[in-house]
Chain A
């Protein structure tokens, strides 16, 4: 960076971030560890109204069959007035941020935001909120299986992000067409509404998907599970 950032205390410019050596010796017990804890059971913890100065918020802890955790917090600000010219629909903006680790680059974060914005533009009843902005902030607190080298990271966190935003929107009392949720299979995520009859978003990092209808079918099974969990919490 050519211009020095005077607004933050950044420390010496010549400092290098800590780099941990990758030893073949250490990766072996690591493997053993995951095998030990493999329960095969997925579990979700849901809580809402954690962030008091947001209109709605939610906190989700998702644990997959390998005891890998994804902790996501979403907060919804709005609908609040938009400045400028008249807008007949609400404008939805989604910001994604990593609270502790910094494993995603700006390009990936932008992609995630665009994808989620597309999904939620289709789900939020934006005609209901003219002249207003709905700002959604996602804070990824922990992602225990994150690997800077792997590309699957996004796939692992996306369904939890979608579920978390849905819960935050419900908490904020913003009108949505249906509870949106998603399922992931291999390297793809599909977001559904209306009991899996409508698709609102597909993300795939797989370049050789042979049977797309099969993929959607598999994701739908997971979607129904996820949605069931959300419904149970809201009941």
Chain B
């Protein structure tokens, strides 16, 4: 960084203000809405061609993040005869009990930061995507069971009229139809996160945007055609006969959908902090008789913004918590300035406040 801007920043800080004219512990204003992008948005105009199932636009200061969530369906691999083999079932449940992560699911985020260049993803984009993916996986916000497809069956009667039957809506005698196919599918969620006007660390912004987009996700109901539901083709190769089961064509119901179940009490929102020493030489003595001007004082800055702050602050904290202080992620990087326990405590209470504020806006 230019020495001039560093000096300028130090002067600003010694006057208890920041180059971006915010106070030390002042956050940028946050605006959150769903941007009317998803097919389930209240004012959606193009529900018939739109495949976005959840969205959000988060604006913080000048920076804005557009997240759109799309989905896919993947067939789960099951053991060949899982119904009969009780022992194996037991084994699976046993091992899953000790492996908490196996129950958690995540989304597949792709972060793109607009920077006026073309080409492959930058380090920051890759790191942010990876961090979002891992943090969501470990947070337990999204469970695998929430992504299970409750597959229905579409019937076409002799008049060409179609009806769709979902196993949790039907009567008991019809239930066995849908149970006849013992396959399982689950939804896969993809998040496309686009960052515009980046002027500071983006991880917490992307996280907040991802969470608010996930909150708006509606999973469409999926169904099979009844005729295809139990289709088996006998084939004979090299003297051996076997049956190949048709790969099903799962279609989604254009009208019916279920909201994505998130673990509400696990939800947390992100914020970031930086700690910087003010160079004693740059300090402007507030009072003439002030004695200890030679001692460097360090200050805590909330919500790092502008290149000047980003490039001169090496001690950073990034926290994800809910308003009750239940932490989902905490990253503390010490470099340059000393991070004292008091500062960490202050960050924790600030992040709770921030989280409360963001939660009220979603």
What are the 5 closest A-B residue pairs judged by CB atoms, nearest first? A77-B116, A144-B45, A11-B108, A15-B74, A15-B72
Which residues of A in the span 143-162 have a Cβ within 8 Å of any Cβ on B?
143-148
Q: Check A11 against B190 for contact (C-beta < 8 Å).
A: yes
- Closest B residue to A11 by CB, please name it: B108
Q: Check B68 against A100 for contact (C-beta < 8 Å).
A: yes
CB of A148, distance to nearest CB on chain B (Å): 6
A135 to B116, CA, bound (A): 7
Question: Which B residues lie within 8 Å of A51 (CB)?
Answer: 114, 196-197
Q: Check B46 against A144 for contact (C-beta < 8 Å).
A: yes
**Is B177's CB within 8 Å of the partner chain A?**
no
Question: Which B residues lie within 8 Å of A53 (CB)?
Answer: 114-116, 197-199
Question: Which A residues lie within 8 Å of B53 (CB)?
Answer: 18
Which of A20-28, A189-197, A209-217 lies at the binding interface?
A: A20-28
Question: Which A residues lie within 8 Å of B66 (CB)?
Answer: 99-100, 141
**Is A83's CB within 8 Å of the partner chain B?**
no
Question: Which B residues lie within 8 Å of A100 (CB)?
Answer: 37, 52, 55, 66, 68, 192
Q: Check A18 against B71 for contact (C-beta < 8 Å).
A: yes
Q: Check B120 against A7 for contact (C-beta < 8 Å).
A: yes
Interface residues on A, range: 35 or more
- Closest B residue to A21 by CB, please name it: B251
CB of A95, distance to nearest CB on chain B (Å): 6
Partner of A69, one of B45, B251, B252, B254: B45
Partner of A9, one of B70, B130, B194: B130
**Is B138's CB within 8 Å of the partner chain A?**
no
Q: A101-B52, A144-B45 are in contact. Are A15 and B188 (CB under 8 A)?
A: yes
Q: Check A16 against B74 for contact (C-beta < 8 Å).
A: yes
Q: A8-B121, A15-B73, A99-B194 are in contact. Are A20 and B68 (CB under 8 A)?
A: no
Residues of A participating in the B interface, judged by any CB pair closer than 8 Å? 7-12, 14-23, 25-27, 30, 50-54, 67-69, 73, 75, 77, 95, 99-101, 103, 135, 137, 139, 141-148
- Closest A residue to B223 by CB, please name it: A21
Q: Check B71 against A17 for contact (C-beta < 8 Å).
A: yes
A52 to B71, CA, bound (A): 32
Question: Which B residues lie within 8 Å of A12 (CB)?
Answer: 74, 188
Question: Which B residues lie within 8 Å of A30 (CB)?
Answer: 47-48
Question: Which A residues lie within 8 Å of B140 (CB)?
Answer: none
CB of A203, distance to nearest CB on chain B (Å): 22
Partner of B70, one of A18, A25, A148: A18
Q: Check A21 against B188 for contact (C-beta < 8 Å).
A: no
- Closest A residue to B133 by CB, please name it: A9
Partner of A50, one of B197, B222, B249: B197
Q: A100-B192, A135-B116 are in contact. Are A18 and B68 (CB under 8 A)?
A: no
Q: Check A23 against B75 for contact (C-beta < 8 Å).
A: no
- Closest B residue to A135 by CB, please name it: B116
A73 to B255, CA, bound (A): 31
Partner of B51, one of A10, A20, A135: A20
**Is B326's CB within 8 Å of the partner chain A?**
no
A-B contact list, 24 entries, CB within 8 Å: A8-B121, A8-B126, A10-B110, A11-B72, A11-B190, A15-B72, A15-B74, A16-B74, A17-B71, A18-B51, A18-B252, A19-B250, A26-B254, A30-B48, A51-B114, A52-B62, A52-B199, A53-B116, A53-B197, A68-B45, A68-B46, A75-B116, A95-B118, A148-B49
Which residues of B in the span 324-347 have a Cβ within 8 Å of any Cβ on A?
none
Residues of B participating in the A interface, judged by any CB pair closer than 8 Å? 35-37, 44-53, 55, 62, 66, 68, 70-75, 108-110, 114-118, 120-121, 126, 129-130, 133, 154, 162, 188, 190, 192, 194, 196-199, 220, 222-223, 249-255
Question: Which B residues lie within 8 Å of A145 (CB)?
Answer: 45-46
A135 to B37, CA, bound (A): 27
- Closest B residue to A77 by CB, please name it: B116
A11 to B162, CA, bound (A): 33
> Among the interface residues B49, B117, B130, B188, which one has the most CB atoms of the partner chain A within 10 A?
B49
A146 to B45, CA, bound (A): 10
Q: Check A18 against B72 for contact (C-beta < 8 Å).
A: yes
Q: Check B51 against A17 for contact (C-beta < 8 Å).
A: yes
CB of B197, distance to nearest CB on chain A (Å): 4
Q: Check A7 against B121 for contact (C-beta < 8 Å).
A: yes
Q: Check A147 against B49 for contact (C-beta < 8 Å).
A: yes
Q: Check A52 against B51 for contact (C-beta < 8 Å).
A: no
Q: Check B251 against A99 for contact (C-beta < 8 Å).
A: no
Partner of A52, one of B194, B197, B252: B197
> Among the interface residues B36, B46, B133, B192, which one has the most CB atoms of the partner chain A within 10 A?
B46
- Closest B residue to A153 by CB, please name it: B49
A65 to B37, CA, bound (A): 20
Question: Which A residues lie within 8 Å of B192 (CB)?
Answer: 99-100
CB of B17, distance to nearest CB on chain A (Å): 20
- Closest B residue to A6 by CB, please name it: B126
